[in-house]
Amino acid sequence: MVGSMGNRRSAGHLAALFTIIIWGTTFISTKVLLVDFRPVEILFFRFVIGFAALLPACPHRMKGVDHKQEMTFVLAGLSGICLYYLLENIALTYTMASNVGVIISVAPFFTAVLSRLFLKSEGKLRVNFFIGFVVAMVGVALISFNGSKLELNPMGDLLAVLAAFVWACYSILTRKISSFGHPVILTTRRTFFYGILFMVPALALSNFEMGLERFADMTNLLNILYLGLGASALCFVTWNLAVKALGAVKTSVYIYMVPVITVVTSTFILKEPVTWVSAMGTALAVAGLFLSEYSGKESDNNE
């Protein structure tokens, strides 16, 4: 029993780490696609591709879904698929990417607060979680503001805070969905469906163009497939598996690693230099992650 629990948690940590590695590299694909696509178009195409990929992955219908469960899927699609990405993209038009990078990393703190309010199964938060949060945020700030000055942009920064809060809501809803007992691929697909549905009004307001001829460019095609198949279809499944195994709070702290992955990717792929500030920030972000995850001798109750 103890061994199977340990294996389950190890698999959960690996799933969360794998997801964050992919999500931490998506900025490159997004940056390439922004030459020919609007942000909302990239968002729509990647999740439609993700939804389509999950159909053959598990060609079955979900059975035994009651109205309460259905509403949970609706809210998860609205928060984690539609609102989070829209708020993040709009925030980037008002404020610096460095501000957004730091503020989004507050999501684990919001997740912890919401879990105490709505999820009794998450267990008691320890002091080390908050110490790890502070250490990680210092690290993320060093990475994000490396060589640049802090500029507050109230509108953009507030939207980024809302995005972090919305992701925390999605994390709590995902934890709730994991308790329903349905296959993770089917629950992820259901969430994608509602997320795409909620995107439609945003598409109408943003001069959306289908413009499929843009995918004749192999660079555009490969990058949207990476976002759709990898960052969306595969990674949302692995993230949901991690939440199911570890709980919403423990999984959410892996968000601290996103700026770290970005630094590493920028170094090896974009050949950007590593400064002592970004190196220090990386070390602190990783240390914060381990501090937040450390549970001592007591095991967390994630059942």
> What pTM does this model have?
0.86
Specify the pLDDT at position 92. 80
Least reliable range by pLDDT among 69-83, 122-136, 137-151, 217-231? 137-151
Domain total of the chain: 1
Per residue in 132-143, pLDDT (tens digit) is 999 999 988 888
In a domain, 40, yes or no: yes
Least reliable range by pLDDT among 22-31, 143-152, 209-218, 236-245? 143-152
Confidence of residue 204 (pLDDT cuts 50, 70, 90): confident
In a domain, 230, yes or no: yes
In a domain, 199, yes or no: yes
In a domain, 299, yes or no: no
Specify the pLDDT at position 121. 63
Per residue in 122-174, pLDDT (tens digit) is 667 788 888 999 999 998 888 877 666 666 678 888 998 999 999 999 999 99
- Helix 67-76 vs helix 154-178: crossing angle, to nearest 10: 150
Residue 301 has pLDDT above 70, yes or no: no
Confidence of residue 60 (pLDDT cuts 50, 70, 90): confident
In a domain, 174, yes or no: yes
In a domain, 239, yes or no: yes
Mean of per-residue pLDDT scores for the chain: 87
Specify the pLDDT at position 123. 64
Confidence of residue 302 (pLDDT cuts 50, 70, 90): very low
Specify the pLDDT at position 27. 80
In a domain, 109, yes or no: yes
* Domain assignment of residue 200, given as a range: 2-293
In a domain, 301, yes or no: no
Specify the pLDDT at position 6. 74
